[in-house]
Amino acid sequence: MKIHVIVNPAGASGRTGKKFKKLIPILKDSPHETEIHYSTREHGIGEICHEITSQDKDSELYIILMGGDGTLNEAINGMEHIERIHLGYLPAGSGNDLAKSLGLSSKNLDAQLKEILKLTDRRSMDIGEIIYGSTSEAIYGNDKIGFTDEDNRIHRRFHDSTGLGFDAAICQAADASRYKTLLNKLYLGKLIYIFNAIKLIFSLKPAHITVDCDGQTKVYDDCMLFVVMNNNYEGGGFKFCPEAKNNDGMLDTCIATPAKKMDFFRIFPTAYDGSHTKFSAIHMGRGQKIHVSSDSYEWVHTDGEVKCKSNDVTIRLLPEKLRLLM
């Protein structure tokens, strides 16, 4: 049996590559044939996954991926024929939200790899997809945002969450900060997100949004936060949708409409343990297909990856589930 091992050696400011070197002897001792693929700036995770999964469309594929949530996001957006993929994931990023949702640790990677190499499916996971009805201020070209369908709409997948407004704006501001790389090297990467969160609470203009969830339409004024989650952690451990399950065929939503900025400042920290749901300004929901339109263009993220702004998005689950080896 052949296994493709894909590694982002530059992940977590280079720590991912260092951790992987310690795992190479385990791969060499495995009875399976392994091929290691290292991503680079010129040849990324998405391109590698596309090349592997677009070949030999009739056989099962075994892939082991090492990196963070962003690495996995790029991987699933490059995958073809998800229904025939068996994925092993070794969490080695800075946030590791998916690992938290799956109950995985980033500390015992050698033991996890040995379990993965048994090549036994242990669970399956829904994969979400966002369809952009419009885009603005795209950071990359459309081909880097996602794939374009016959109606010229851009699609992008996610495993944990997607959202527009506050949490996406935090990710965009952090990515644009010249201090992010330095703080990551000092193991203080979360500080840049906390700093930008405090800043944006007072500077971000609330949006007027209309949400259609499985045919039920609601309008929200003064919306600061709109999140759709497949797993129950995002942003380094925030549980905006504490009841979300990644295999129930449903997406969970969290919408925040605080009357005052100070109210949101008080509510936001409680999302770390999921207790924010007790506030009247928090609106929870669940559905299979969600359409959101806004009176303004807002930054949009998928698993913390920000590609563009939009004022019109549709969010749903793929019909296929991804099989997991851990």
CB 170 within 8 A of CB 193: yes
pLDDT tens figures, 211-258:
999 999 999 999 999 999 999 999 888 999 999 999 999 999 999 999
Grouping H, G, I as helix, E, B as strand and the rest as coil, residue 288 is coil
Q: What is the pTM of this model?
A: 0.92
For the packed helices 69-78 and 45-53, what is the interaxial angle rounded to 10 degrees? 40
Please state the φ and ψ torsions of residue 250, each to the nearest 5 degrees. Answer: -130, 155
CA distance 96 to 283: 26
CA distances from 90 to 5, 114, 117, 186 (A): 10, 11, 12, 22
Q: How many C-beta atoms surround the C-beta of residue 82 within 10 A?
A: 18
* Cα dihedral sign, 151-157-161-162: negative
Whether pLDDT at 184 is above 70? no
pLDDT tens figures, 42-53:
999 999 999 999
Whether pLDDT at 180 is above 60? no
Of 48-52, 189-193, 304-308, minimum mean pLDDT range: 189-193
Domains contained in the chain, CATH given: 2-120 (3.40.50.10330), 128-318 (2.60.200.40)
